[in-house]
Amino acid sequence: MRNSRFTLFVLCLASGGWAFGFGLGAPLASLWLCSAGQSARLIGLNTSLYYLGVALASFIVPRLMRRYCRLCVVGGIVADALVTALFPWMDNVLAWSMLRLVGGIATALSIIPMETLVNHNAPPERRARDFGFYAFSVALGIAVGSLVGLPLYPLAPRGAFALGGLVTLASALVAWLGWPDSASGACQRPGESNRGVNTPRSSGQVITFSYGTAWVQGFLEGGLITFLSIYLLLRGYTEGQVSFLVGGLFAGVILCQVPLAWLADRLGRWRVLIACHLLLMTALLGVRLCPGTPLLAVSLFLVGTCCGALYPLGLALLGERVPPAELARANAYYLASNCAGSLCGPALLGLVIDWFGQPSQFLAGTLAVAVVVGVGAAFSRQSGARGRCNTEAEKMPRRIAA
């Protein structure tokens, strides 16, 4: 137990340092391109290249992990640090685009092994809680990176990028020194660690529901980050009020990760995950229906709370149903699904806004979540039917004996 908690501490520290560089570098990269006279379309494409790199690399990383698990993590974090530090020293679109693509590939190299180890390392009774601490570390790192980077950028633009690179590089050292030797089991080829061991059967419905959760979380994250501030400004809010409201959304992401994860371990991860989907739909409709009232701030806080919880709870649910030796591949596909949502979310919501206006983005988001809830409800019905069949099968020998 002590070893598992120390491993979780190392993973939280390393992922938090990586997230600091991401939270600092992502907005500053857009500001740098804007200062260089690039169009909004090109800035959006540059961001999409990052997520494209993550999605493409996700299909290759599980194979690399079988032989180079620790090197994948450390090499990915080091590459991310170099990309962040070098970005302001480039002076053409091709170089900026290549750096963002490489940054996405590096992120997949580092994040997939760390998330796989969280799943592999977590005791069954606290799987969601471990992911809650991991998600809290990532969210806190991103928030602190943004809070530090944005004020520093006007004073020393290249220095801000360099700071992000240095902190990310320090997290690579933490991962190298703290990566446990026992982590090799998380990186094995499917089937290697299952011999002679009873492992849970993977359920197609659970996996589909988990991947759908990852997709819709990325869909909403990419879409709301792109359009929420614009919507609030058009509703007549000042820049300060918009900052307060968006800050409340991120406060929900940071503050509620661990409590919701603890609740999921107590009440059941599937139940809490479904509840988060339903509450998220209600909160999105609240944002649409309550502009100009205090309920708007409450709704945005709930959007952040539930949307932030979807990713770690979906991963925890996936870990329940996937055999240990298949976790690396399952986690890689999970991350790819999330990035696919981040890629298409801004594009699809942009089309919806062009056709039906700014408020329609929240109705479109609600519909996307409803589709995933439908998949979860179908899984629930099938599980209930299977449970009744198993009960009848258990009673059959007793009836025959009688």
Q: Which amino acid is at 177?
A: L
Domain count along the chain: 2
Domain final residue pick, 142, 157, 189: 189
Domain final residue pick, 158, 189, 220: 189
Dihedral class, residue 373 (left if φ above 0, else alpha if ψ from -120 to 50, else beta)? alpha
182 confidence band (pLDDT: 50, 70, 90)? low
Calpha distance 231→288 (Å, rounded): 10
Based on the fold, state whether residues 227 and 148 are members of the same structural domain: no
Give yes or no for residue 203 having a pLDDT over 90: no
What local confidence, expressed as pLDDT, does residue 401 receive? Answer: 45
What local confidence, expressed as pLDDT, does residue 320 receive? Answer: 80
Q: What is the CATH number of the domain that holds 126?
A: 1.20.1250.20
> Residue 93: which residues within 8 A CB-CB, separation 6 or more?
38, 42
Based on the fold, state whether residues 138 and 233 are members of the same structural domain: no
Residue 345: inside a domain: yes
Domain final residue pick, 155, 189, 223: 189
Beta carbons of 215 and 341 less than 8 angstroms apart:
yes
Beta carbons of 28 and 161 less than 8 angstroms apart:
yes
pLDDT in tens, 75-104: 999 999 999 999 999 989 899 999 999 999
Calpha distance 277→311 (Å, rounded): 11
Based on the fold, state whether residues 75 and 211 are members of the same structural domain: no
For the chain, the average pLDDT equals 83
What local confidence, expressed as pLDDT, does residue 179 receive? Answer: 86
Based on the fold, state whether residues 68 and 112 are members of the same structural domain: yes
Based on the fold, state whether residues 259 and 303 are members of the same structural domain: yes
Burial class (CB in 10 A: 0-12, 13-18, 19+), 82: middle
**Tokens at residue 209, please?**
């529901």
Cβ count within 10 A of residue 379: 19
Residue 194: inside a domain: no
DSSP reduced 3-state for 202: coil
Q: Which of 265, 194, 225 is nearest to 345 (CA)?
A: 225
Beta carbons of 133 and 12 less than 8 angstroms apart:
yes
pLDDT in tens, 17-30: 999 998 888 888 88
Based on the fold, state whether residues 136 and 41 are members of the same structural domain: yes
Residue 195: inside a domain: no
Burial class (CB in 10 A: 0-12, 13-18, 19+), 51: buried
**Tokens at residue 53, please?**
């790199």
The number of C-alpha atoms within 13 Å of 3 and in the hemisphere containing its C-beta is 8
Average pLDDT over residues 159-166: 94
Give the residue, 326 or 381, on which the prediction is more confident.
Answer: 326
How does DSSP classify residue 197? -
> Residue 20: which residues within 8 A CB-CB, separation 6 or more?
141, 142, 144, 145, 148, 164, 167, 168, 171
Average pLDDT over residues 168-189: 78
Residue with the two structure tokens 């439908």: 374
Quote the percentage of the chain above a pLDDT of 90.
34
Residue with the two structure tokens 């190298």: 176
Based on the fold, state whether residues 136 and 238 are members of the same structural domain: no
Give the residue, 318 or 192, on which the prediction is more confident.
Answer: 318
What local confidence, expressed as pLDDT, does residue 173 receive? Answer: 94
Calpha distance 27→151 (Å, rounded): 12
Beta carbons of 141 and 18 less than 8 angstroms apart:
yes
> Residue 131: which residues within 8 A CB-CB, separation 6 or more?
118, 119, 122, 261, 312, 313, 315, 316
DSSP string of 53-121, one letter each residue: HHHHHTTTHHHHHHHHHHHHHHHHHHHHHHHHHHGGG--SHHHHHHHHHHHHHHHHHHHHHHHHHHHHH
Based on the fold, state whether residues 134 and 267 are members of the same structural domain: no
Domain coverage including residue 285: 200-402
Give the residue, 181 or 361, on which the prediction is more confident.
Answer: 361
Based on the fold, state whether residues 210 and 184 are members of the same structural domain: no
- Torsion sign across C-alpha atoms 310, 314, 316, 320: positive
204 confidence band (pLDDT: 50, 70, 90)? low
H or E, element range at 134: helix 127-152
Q: Is the pTM of this model over 0.95?
A: no
**Tokens at residue 180, please?**
């446990």
Based on the fold, state whether residues 239 and 379 are members of the same structural domain: yes
Rounded to a whole number of angstroms, the distance between the first and last alpha carbons of the chain is 47
Based on the fold, state whether residues 372 and 224 are members of the same structural domain: yes
Q: How many residues does the chain have?
A: 402
What local confidence, expressed as pLDDT, does residue 190 receive? Answer: 46
Based on the fold, state whether residues 215 and 85 are members of the same structural domain: no
